[in-house]
Amino acid sequence: MSPSRGTDTNVVAAMTESSEALNRDYALEAEREATESGMAIQEYQAVLKGAVVTALIPPKHLEGIAAYGVRAVGEVLVRYLVGEAER
């Protein structure tokens, strides 16, 4: 393997770790926003059905973490209310 190949792999690994950390920050902010908005954590998790919120509601390009939290929780609440109406 050439030295440049190893460097490329390291860069990709670092970018992946950075992306995963950012997704965790977005997900934590959405959870915080949900509970701050009065949603029980169990209700929030039930809407997600085991998925990570950033997989269901991806952050927009250059979207701030706080803005994402508000938007994601708005979408989660809509899904929650639709689910309640269907029961």
- pLDDT class for 11, splitting at 50, 70, 90? low
Model confidence pLDDT, tens digit, residues 16-66: 677 888 899 999 999 999 999 999 999 999 999 999 999 999 999 999 999
CA dihedral 56, 61, 67, 70 (to 10 degrees): -20
Q: To which H or E segment does residue 85 belong?
A: helix 65-86
Q: How many residues does the chain have?
A: 87
The pTM (predicted TM-score) of the whole model is: 0.76
Contact 73, 38 (CB under 8 A): no
Residue 79 structural domain: 3-86
Q: Could you give the CA distance from residue 62 to residue 74 in angstroms, rounded to a whole number?
A: 19
Asked whether 44 and 34 are in contact (CB, 8 A), the reply is yes
- Provide the number of structural domains found in the chain: 1
